Structure 1
Amino acid sequence: MDFSFEDLPSASQSTPKKDRGDSQTATEDVDGDSSREKSSNMSMNESQELHNSSSIDDISRRVQELVENINRSRSRDQEEMDGFQEKLVEKVTEMCQQMKGHMYTVYEENSDEMQVKLQELSQVLDSCTKLNHELLEASRALACLREGLTVSEAPEQ
């Protein structure tokens, strides 16, 4: 991921000029030097182009590697998220099953308690019904007794 710009060519490179002290010699050598300079300039340009091209290729390769690394990282992230989602679904399902089990246990306990209370209520209602019948019998007996007392008091007059 580290980029190095030291390998890149400088845009301000120049070729050094040769210093000639003698103007006569300079004019004589101009024809020979100019052809040598052209060929050396051409080879320097070609060399610089090759260097530039290899630097561009190197940068392109590095960029491609970075893109591939990013894509691999994204794939790993997606796999992690998928795994997390699966585990989360499993845990939520497990918790729902536990809650259902607890809910059914509470239902059973409540049903058992209600059954006991309903049996007690039934027994109390049975007792009430018996007491009501006994009361009715006692009331009839008292009514008969009162009639008997009223009949027996009436002839004495």
Structure 2
Amino acid sequence: MRYASHSPDFPYDLSTMCYLEVAADGTVQSPPPDGVAGRVRSGDSRLYAVWPGKYRSDLFLIDDVDDYEKALGIQHDPVRTGLEDHEHRISWQLSADERNPGATYVFVDTTLDCGCEIKDLKAFARQAREQQLGWDVATTGGVSTSIRFGADGTRQGLTYTLRVRRKSLD
């Protein structure tokens, strides 16, 4: 058996990852119910992950529950996501590349004026939905990034082109 903390960039959020909680009495639950991190921290159970491969699957002990929670968005991680846990100041407009402004999802050019960066699209989508924006950001297509420059040629920040549900922009 291997330890998740010994594998750099362990893919906790891999869609095919299978998690198993093994309680002290030997009871196994998959997927683990809510609160698994607390039970692991208290020693009432252990958390394992099966990382499936093409020819074999490997079993890992999740020995750093904080990393597990941060990767799955249960615990906020500004280093990994690039996003502080605050209400973002955002400037946005429909992208010049948008060819169908009546579509369900449209391209939106977004600038985070608060200084945050989008390193984790799912984390940004969650924050955008929960905050005053109420945006429904598509997380399956990725994000396009471009650098903005001021009139004097200095770097002003980043502009992200996102797919957002048109109705949530209102």
Q: What range is the shorter-chain TM-score in?
A: under 0.3
More helix by share: 1
TM-score under structure 1 normalisation? 0.16
TM-score under structure 2 normalisation? 0.15
* Larger RCO (alpha carbons 8 Å, 6+ apart): 1
Q: Which structure: larger Rg?
A: 1
